[in-house]
Chains A and B, each alone.
Chain A
Amino acid sequence: MNSLRSRLTIALLSAILPLIVVVGIGLHVFVQSSLIARFDDGLVARARSITNATKFEHGRVELDIADEGSLGLFELRAQPITGTSELIGGSRSLGSEPVEPASAELPTARDVILTSGEAGRSLTVRFTPREDPEGEGDFGANQPIATTPAAPNLVLVVAAKRDELDATVRSLDLAILGCGALLVGGVVASVALALRRGLRPVASLAAEVEAIDASRLSSRVSEGALPLELQPIAMRTNALLDRINDAFERERRLTASAAHELRTPIAEIRAVTELALSRARSATEYQQALRSVFDVSTRMQSSVEGLLRLARIASWREPPNLEPVDIAIVVRDAWDRAMAPALARGVRATFEKRSTTEVQTDRALVTLIAGNLLANAAEYTPDGGDITSEVSRSGERIVWRLVNTASERVRTPDAGETVHLGIGLPLVAAAAAALGATFNQERQSARFTVTLEWTGVANA
């Protein structure tokens, strides 16, 4: 059972119900013992009356009481000296009840079965009757008393039926059971209600979280209305959603940029092949078409490889291959590959390196970034324009700044279609982020500036 409510219900009831049972049993024992004690008090009172009424006069034991029936069940016997005791008097209803031996602790109360077969309770008392030389009476007159004037030790057994006591105990037991059952029902209901109310914020939180699917990643769990104990969960959930949303957004931008980057070369291949196939062509025309397709597909291969590597790194499926990379050298190499179209149009290029510019980074990805930015600058810097590249270090910060004369092609800083070779600026930014670097682009009047910045670079 995985429900939190079920678990808590079981845990609470497991703790409370045994307590109720124990209290019920304790109550039963207490009530029963109290009633028996009071019952025994009645027996003691009767025994006291009988002992008070028992006298020893004229060498005989006499019971000085007018109505012997008012004493209930009792037996009065001489303390046995040998073997059997001598019955002096009594109601004779306890004929089968053995007299306690002289050595027994007296007075003693205990449960007995009466001659009538009913359950009863008896009290045995040992005493010596008072001597009354002046008194008269014939109680036990048929019993010769020893001539010795000393009063004998007597044993008195007083008994009473306990049917009323048992009935009272049973009634009280039923009352305890009834109250206990009601209490258990009340506790179960209260626990269920309390848990439902108590867990309502949890259910509300769960419902809010459940409502956030892939299409609603911008939604957030409301933290303010939650109990203090749940607020950290909501805060962590929101923080997690922020990260997931960012990851989804990066993925979406990456996919959109990748799709965008691949559309143009695919369009080129399609246009060239469709035209070639639209009618019969000469061998030279087919050869030209195939050459174009080959050139485009080679360029596409480079783009796709860059995109795949970027996608693997951005999705943490492949860690960047970190090694010491001199940014200035990578930039210079990239320019050597990209400079041809720019030089042909009279573009002036200046490359500066200030101090050590070595960073622990992924050489392939940095090469991809530098290649794209410089190819872009080389292709789109207007005729006679200039390109300035500067790699500098300031403390733990290394910055590559690339400035070129801007053509009207670059409309806004977030334009997505500013790079035609390889990958576009959004992907360059994604690649920089994958390397832990910061990429920025800025256009001011006729100059377009891109910067790539690493911070926290250890000293060489």
Chain B
Amino acid sequence: MRILIVEDSTNIRESVAQALREAGYAVDAVGDGRQGFIYVQTTEYDVAILDLGLPEMDGLTVLRRMREKGIATPVLVLTARDAIDDRVLGLRSGADDYLVKPFALAELLARVAVLVRRPHGVRSSALRFGPLSIDTVTRTATVNDRATLDLSPREYRVLEYLALRAGKPVTRMELEDHVYDERSQVMSNAIDSAICALRAKLDAAGCHDLIRTRRKVGYVLSSGAGR
């Protein structure tokens, strides 16, 4: 899952970015509205965290322009403005959620997790595919509710992305875009090797043929077992 942070306070921007990375997200962070608007146009983010008081281009302007251009990325507005009118204005301008400073990182992470699931129509934080369970809050995968799979952050991100789009094919490029951020040095076969490692761990745990390859398309996580 790839997150964009647009926040002019360096401390907040770097702390939130670090917290999100440690939670397993791929994160891009910029310090002004103009850059933020460029980023959301060029990359498909799963969630954008947007401050309102930004240099170069105001956060609300970024938000309106995003929606005008049809960019449906869920947006979490992060601001010091706590008046009801400000919240209403933010939500009416296209924000999906609103978090007032100061905030708890844990709450921000929980809200981001909700926003990540929302476009895929998933209400619960627990995804289930036969014996495999994925908890998007604790970011863990278990088999038969007992054995926890030992997944690297990259492997978990791939699994979660496929799980949220279960039954739909996902291209390598799309996986790369959502699993790695701009700081990552991505090798050309990075996704393939991650899928390979993931399959091996799933097979070893008894979850066979969960991830299938669609020739010339990409990968798909079988939704046969239901969520």
Q: List A residues at the B interface (Cβ < 8 Å).
A: 256, 259-260, 263-264, 266-272, 274-275, 278-279, 292, 296, 379-380, 382, 407-411, 416-418, 420
In-complex Cβ contact of B16 among A256, A271, A380, A410 (8 A) = A271
In-complex Cβ contact of B58 among A267, A271, A408, A420 (8 A) = A408
Residue B104 lies at the interface, judged by CB distance under 8 Å to chain A? yes
Least Cβ distance of B86 to chain A in Å?
A: 9
14 contacts across the A-B interface (CB closer than 8 A): A263-B80, A263-B100, A264-B101, A268-B15, A270-B102, A270-B103, A271-B102, A274-B105, A407-B57, A408-B61, A410-B58, A411-B61, A417-B52, A420-B53
Contact in complex: A272, B9 (CB < 8 Å): no
Give B53's nearest chain A residue, CB to CB.
A417
Residue B203 lies at the interface, judged by CB distance under 8 Å to chain A? no
Q: Which residues of B contact A264 (CB under 8 A)?
A: 9, 12, 80, 101
**Can you add 15 more A-B contacts, CB < 8 Å, to A271-B12, A407-B56, A410-B58?**
A260-B82, A267-B9, A268-B11, A271-B16, A271-B103, A274-B15, A275-B19, A278-B19, A278-B22, A279-B22, A409-B57, A411-B60, A417-B53, A417-B80, A420-B53
Residue B18 lies at the interface, judged by CB distance under 8 Å to chain A? yes
Least Cβ distance of A299 to chain B in Å?
A: 10
Whole-angstrom CA separation of A331 from B227 in the bound complex: 65
In-complex Cβ contact of B12 among A268, A407, A409 (8 A) = A268
Contact in complex: A256, B33 (CB < 8 Å): no
Contact in complex: A275, B18 (CB < 8 Å): yes
Contact in complex: A271, B11 (CB < 8 Å): yes
* Most A C-beta atoms less than 10 A away, residue of B54, B102, B103: B102
Contact in complex: B12, A263 (CB < 8 Å): no
Residue B131 lies at the interface, judged by CB distance under 8 Å to chain A? no
Residue B206 lies at the interface, judged by CB distance under 8 Å to chain A? no
Residue B83 lies at the interface, judged by CB distance under 8 Å to chain A? yes
| Count of chain B residues with a beta carbon within 8 Å of a chain A beta carbon | 32
In-complex Cβ contact of A271 among B54, B82, B105 (8 A) = B105
Give B8's nearest chain A residue, CB to CB.
A420
Contact in complex: B58, A411 (CB < 8 Å): yes
Whole-angstrom CA separation of A445 from B101 in the bound complex: 31
Whole-angstrom CA separation of A408 from B55 in the bound complex: 7
Give B17's nearest chain A residue, CB to CB.
A275
Q: List B residues at the A interface (Cβ < 8 Å).
A: 8-9, 11-12, 15-16, 18-19, 22, 33-34, 52-58, 60-61, 79-83, 100-106
Least Cβ distance of B137 to chain A in Å?
A: 15
Contact in complex: B81, A409 (CB < 8 Å): no
Give B54's nearest chain A residue, CB to CB.
A409
Whole-angstrom CA separation of A409 from B82 in the bound complex: 19
Q: Which residues of A contact B80 (CB under 8 A)?
A: 260, 263-264, 267, 417
Contact in complex: B53, A409 (CB < 8 Å): yes
Q: Which residues of B contact A270 (CB under 8 A)?
A: 102-105
Whole-angstrom CA separation of A414 from B178 in the bound complex: 39
Contact in complex: A408, B52 (CB < 8 Å): no
Q: Which residues of A contact B15 (CB under 8 A)?
A: 268, 271-272, 274-275
Q: Which residues of A contact B106 (CB under 8 A)?
A: 274
Contact in complex: B9, A268 (CB < 8 Å): yes
Contact in complex: B83, A256 (CB < 8 Å): yes
Least Cβ distance of A55 to chain B in Å?
A: 123
Q: Which residues of B contact A409 (CB under 8 A)?
A: 33, 53-58
Q: Which residues of A contact B81 (CB under 8 A)?
A: 260, 416-417
Contact in complex: A380, B55 (CB < 8 Å): yes
Give A268's nearest chain B residue, CB to CB.
B11
Would you list the 10 A-B pairs with minimal beta carbon distance, nearest first? A267-B101, A417-B53, A263-B80, A271-B15, A267-B102, A268-B11, A408-B57, A266-B102, A263-B101, A275-B15
Q: Which residues of B contact A379 (CB under 8 A)?
A: 55
Whole-angstrom CA separation of A267 from B12 in the bound complex: 7
Whole-angstrom CA separation of A263 from B79 in the bound complex: 9
Q: Which residues of A contact B52 (CB under 8 A)?
A: 417
Least Cβ distance of B9 to chain A in Å?
A: 6
Give A264's nearest chain B residue, CB to CB.
B80
Whole-angstrom CA separation of A256 from B80 in the bound complex: 11
Whole-angstrom CA separation of A344 from B105 in the bound complex: 33
Q: Which residues of B contact A416 (CB under 8 A)?
A: 81
Give A379's nearest chain B residue, CB to CB.
B55
Least Cβ distance of B36 to chain A in Å?
A: 12
Contact in complex: B104, A408 (CB < 8 Å): no
Whole-angstrom CA separation of A266 from B19 in the bound complex: 17
